[in-house]
Structure formats: structure tokens, C-alpha cells
Structure 1
Amino acid sequence: MLGLEYFSVADLWSPLFLVFMLLITVGYLLVVGPLSEKFEGAKPVSWMKKSMFIMGIFMLYLAQGGPVSLLGHMMFSFHMLTMALSYLVAPPLIMMGLPEWLWRALVKVNPLRSLKFLAKPVVAALLFNGLFSLYHIPAIHDYVMLHFNVHRLYYIVLLITAMLMWWTLLNPLPESTKGSSVGKMGYIFLNMVLLTPACGLIIFASQPLYATYSDPNIWAEAMGYCISGDPAAILDKFGGPTFFNLMSPQVDQQVGGILMKFIQEIIFASILAYVFFNWYKKENREDDDMNPSELKDSTLNHM
């Protein structure tokens, strides 16, 4: 299916990365379970929270170490799916899976406290969306894909900035939650707007932008970092990325841009609806709690 049958189990499932993610999951279950008594204010963690964390870890593994990751080296549309899973789906699930008392312990770590300015809403939004857009400038994207260490470092930085971006919306700590519902709605719109230029460039480009998905030689070199075997042998066997793709490179590129923007719109629109609904309920509840004279004064003050 999609050419995956030509690759080994190790190529498809990245055993070392799988072990690493399993260790993180086991560590989490130990911290929120038997070791929780070592944390101040620790309370039992529901299975819902545990399930969200495990699902987030699974999504991150699937995107960065599973078959979706391999397909992302062969088709740009799957590359954008890995981006969406890695930075729009996995981070909020992982963050919502961490209990309040564990977050409180984490934010007290000195290095994190000194960098707290990075979590300011506008800074975090500009950081993540800026780095994401920068990465998809064709020359930068192809360079990153062809240099393994740079590739890994860039993806780690993107993950950290994605979590900083999500912090404004998912912050569970009452003492550090300052944004109003209206402010959060504005912040959601800001993130939706900031990602639009990069997706627009990809969708409306008149030709393939990325040599990694259109030039057979460069594609083979990039593939050499994610699968076993000689890149020259890979090129001789498959001839290039078009072997695995039913679409032309340009159409594949357009599908990828649309897919990324669609997933972002669905996720942020859902959060926007949730924030708006809670804000609307709160406003109506406050109005209901007012006596008639207070309601009259409030109405006059807004006129």
C-alpha cells in the first residue's frame, strides 16, 4: 500500500524512536502513579487525562517515527500531515494529559522560569508560525531535509515552540492565567492568520517548489537519512518519488498545503467555538445574577 511494502519493518517503525517514546510513556505513568506522592499537592489523575497523554505520544510517534513519517519523505502531502500531527494535534493532547500539580512542578524549574517570556501570547504565536513558515521556504526546506542533525534540531525547536503557542489556550494554572476569553479568541484568529501566507504560497505556486519531492537525486539523498540502504540503490530501484505518488509533484504540493490549512482551521475553529460558548455562558450568567437596578445601571453605562 502506497509503496510501503518495499521497506523493512525497521524502516517503517523506527525501533529506537519507538523505545524512546515508550520510555517517556512509562515515565509519565510512574510519575502520575506510584511516584506522585513526591510532588506537592498531587492528586489522582483520571484515565481521561492519561489517555490524552498516551494518544498525544502515539500521534507524535506516528508522525515522526512511524509509516506516516516515511511517507512524508516520499509525498509532500504526507509531509504536511506529519507537520499537522506533530504540532497541531500531538502537543495539545500531551499538554492536556499533564495534571495541574505536575505543571506547577515543571514551571518552577529555573531554566524554564528564565524563559517564560517566550510563552507570552504574541511572542509564542510569532515564534511558532514564523519558524514553520521559514522552514517551508524552498531553499531552507531542502537544506534541512538533506542535513540529518539540522533536521532533528529544527523539528525539536518546532515542537517546543508549538507547545509555547498552545500554552495560552491550555494553561491549567489559575495563578498564571491572565488572558480573557475575548483575548483568547483574538489569539486564535492571530494564529490562523499567521499560517495562511505559507500555506498560500504552497497551494498557489505555479510549479513544484521543493527539490526533495521533484528531483530524483536530491530525493534519494534525503531518503538515505530515514531508511537503511545506499541512496544510489534506492534511486536505481525506484527512479524517484513519482514511483510512490499517484499525483504530479505540483498537485501533491497543493494537496499538502490545503491539508495543513484545513486541519489547522478545523482545530482552531473548534477551540474558538468552545471559548466563545464559555464566554457567552459566563456573560449571560452574570446578567442573570444582577438585580434589576444593577442591570439598568450596567445598560446605561454601556450606552
Structure 2
Amino acid sequence: MLGLEYFKFEDVWSPVFLAFMLLVTAGYFVLIGPAGGKWAAEERVPAGRKLLFVAGMAMLYLAQGGPVELLGHMMFSFHMLSMALSYLVAPPLLMLGIPPWVWRKVASFLAGSPLRHLRFWVKPVVAAVVFNGLFSFYHIPAVHDYVMLHFGVHRLYYIVLFAASVLLWWTLVNPLPERPGAQGLKKMGFIFLNMVLLTPACGLIIFAKEPLYATYSDPNVWARAMGYCVSGNPEMLLSQFGGPQFFGFLEPGIDQQVGGILMKFIQEFIFASMLAYVFYQWYKQENRGGDDEELAAQLAEAPERSGVGELAEAPGPSGDFGVPKSS
């Protein structure tokens, strides 16, 4: 399917990376279980939280080591799907799957280490600018092709981009409920800022009149890039398939547009859903505050309505207000 049948099992499923991801997942269950000690005993991790973590690991594996990663070297639309899964879907799932007591331990460790000086990067506006800036810079054609052709730079850039996405999602997810974070209008403004910042890069890709990336249009560049994710000689790929067009069911220009639209659609769907949720929570909180004030006013007026005030001010039998008149 989609040309995957032409490649070996290890090329499609990356067994080494799969083993690493399974090892990390097993470590997670050990950490929240026997190795967690009194913290794990006091704060039981519900099944839903565990499911979120496993789902996040599955998304990250598919995007960076599974079939989506390989297809991302042959079609730009799958490359953008891989980016969306890696940085918009997997991070919040993983962060929500990790229990708060683990985050408290991490925060306590960071507070006592030299890394505490990097707290500046967690500020909402800084995190948004850094992540979207790195993402947009990566998709400059010359930068993208260079990164795809240099394996070490490729891995390093992806790790940095993943760390930047975690800093971005920290404001949105807030894994430490006891710590104050952006709420209400500020949080909605932060979401809207991210939706805007990614638009120029996606617009450049969607409205380009010709293919921008040699990785998906030049057979020689494509073969060199494929050499980092499949076994065998890249020259054999050229002789056997001729180029990435062998696998693509779309023309390179259309495939590029589909990739840009797909990335923007996934981002808009996720952030618009969050925007609606945050607005609903903010609206409920504002209305609840108004209801509390109205209830307090009603309670303050209750004695007067019950007639207590009238009895206190009623005149007595010997004169006004119960005071005897002098003769």
C-alpha cells in the first residue's frame, strides 16, 4: 500500500526505535507503580491518564519511526502529517498522561539546577514565538532540504522542535494544577496567537505555484535523503523506482499544497477545539461569579423582607419607638 510493500520490514517499522519506545512505555508503568513509592500510592493514576500516555507514545512512534515516517520521505503530505502528529498531537497526550506528582518532582529538580535560568523560555509568548519560528524556519526550502540530507542535523532539529512544542503546550495543558497559569481571555489570546503565527508558513506552501522542495521533486536529492531511513544503496533506489513520483499518487505541486492544507487543518481543528473549551469554561466561571454576587445580595436583603427590620422600628405602646413620653 502506497509503495510500502517494496521495502523491508525494518525499513517500514524501525524495530530499534520501536523497542526504545516500548522500553520508555514500560518505564512509565514502573514509575507510576512499584517505583513510585509513597507518591504513587497517594496519587493513583487513573486508567484514562495511562491511556493518554500510551496513545501519545503510539502517535510519536508512527510519526518518527513507523510507516508515516517512511512515507514522509516520499510524499510531502505525509511529511506534514508526521509533523502534526509529532508536535501537535503527541505532546499534549504525553503531558496529560504523566501524573502531577511526577511533574512536581521534575519541577523541583529543575528549580535546583542550572536549568532554572531557562524559565524565560516557558513564558507563553516566548514559547509560541520559538516553536512557530522553528517550524517556519525549517520549512524554508533551502533549510528543509539541508536538514533532510544531514542525518545528525535532522535528529537534533527534531529533538529541539519537540522540546519547543512541550514548552508551548505547557501553557495550554498546565500539568501542575496548583501553579497559576493563563486563564480565560489570556489563554484564548495565546491560542489565537499560535493559530496566527503558523499561517504564513502554511500559506507559502499552499499558494506556491511550483514545487519548493528538492527532496520531493529531484530524484537525486530524494535518493540521498532516503539513504538515512532505508537500508541498501541509494543508487539502487534510483534504478529501481526512478524517484519519489513512483510512490506518489499526486503531482509534486498538488502534493505540496495538500501537505500545507493538512497541517493547517489539523492545527486549526485542535486549537479551535481548545479555544471553544476555554471560552466555555471562562463563560461558566464568569456567570457563576455573577450568580454568587446576586445570591449574596439576596441574603443581605432577607432580614428586611422577613419583617425583622419593621419590628425593630415599630413604635411601642408608650410612644414612638418604644420610648415613654415625658409628662
> Normalising to structure 1: TM-score of the pair?
0.94
Alignment correspondent of 2:147: 144
Output the CA distance in 2 between the equivalents of 1:113 and 1:57. Answer: 27
Distance 1:42 1:134 in 2: 45
* AA aligned opposite 1:134: F
Distance, in Å, in 2 between the alignment partners of 1:4 and 1:293 is 67
Structure 1 residue 221 corresponds to structure 2 residue 198: no
1:171 and 2:169 correspond = no
Instruction: Give the stretch that moved more between structures: 222-231 or 29-38.
Output: 29-38
Q: Is the 8 A contact 1:145 1:151 kept in 2?
A: yes
- For residues 66-111 of structure 1, give each alpha carbon's deviation from its aligned partner in whole angstroms, at most 9, with x where no partner exists: 0000000000000000000000000000000011111111112225
Aligned mate of 1:231, from 210, 234, 237? 234
> What are the Cα deviations for residues 235-280 of structure 1, in whole angstroms up to 9, with x where unaligned?
1000000000111100000000000000000000111111011111
From the CA coordinates, give the structure whose radius of gyration is larger. 2
Q: Work out whether 1:207 is the aligned partner of 2:207.
A: no
Conserved 8 A contact 1:52-1:94: yes
1:251 is matched with which residue: 243, 249, 254? Answer: 254
Name the aligned partner's letter for residue 194 of structure 1: L
Deviations 1:162-216 (A, max 9, x none): 0000000111323432322110000000000000000000000010000000000
What SS class does the counterpart of residue 182 from structure 2 fall into? coil
The 1-side partners of 2:97 and 2:280 are apart by: 23
Q: Which runs of 5+ in 2 are unaligned?
A: 299-327
Is the CA contact 2:217–2:244 (under 8 Å) kept in the aligned structure 1?
yes
- Structure 2 counterpart of 1:190, from 167, 189, 193: 193
Structure 1 residues 1-303: aligned runs within 5 Å: 1-37=1-37, 39=39, 42-109=42-109, 110-291=113-294
Distance 1:78 1:291, change over 3 A: same
1:116 to 1:38, Cα distance in 2 relative to 1, 3 A: farther
Write the letter of the residue equivalent to 2:157: Y
Encode CA deviations 1:131-167: one digit per residue, 9 max, x unaligned. Answer: 0000000000000000000000000000000000000
Displacement of 1:223:
0.2
Structure 1: distance between partners of 2:297 and 2:129: 42
Give the drift of 1:293: 7.8
Structure 1: any 5+ residue segments left out of the alignment? 296-303
Distance 1:187 1:294 in 2: 36
Measure the CA separation in 2 of the matches of 1:225 and 1:218: 12
The 10-residue stretch of structure 1 (284-293 or 32-41) with the greater mean CA deviation from structure 2: 32-41
Rate the CA distance shift 1:133–1:42 in 2: closer, same or farther, 3 A.
farther
SS in 2 for 1:92: helix
1:41–1:101 CA contact under 8 A, matched in 2: no
Contact 1:107 1:113 in 2 (8 A): no
Q: CA RMSD in A?
A: 1.5
Runs of 4+ in 1 over 6 A off after TM superposition: none
Kept after mapping to 2: 8 A contact 1:216/1:241: yes
Residues 20 and 40 (structure 1 numbering): CA distance in 2 closer, same or farther, change over 3 Å? closer
Shift of 1:41: 8.4
TM-score, normalising length from structure 2? 0.88
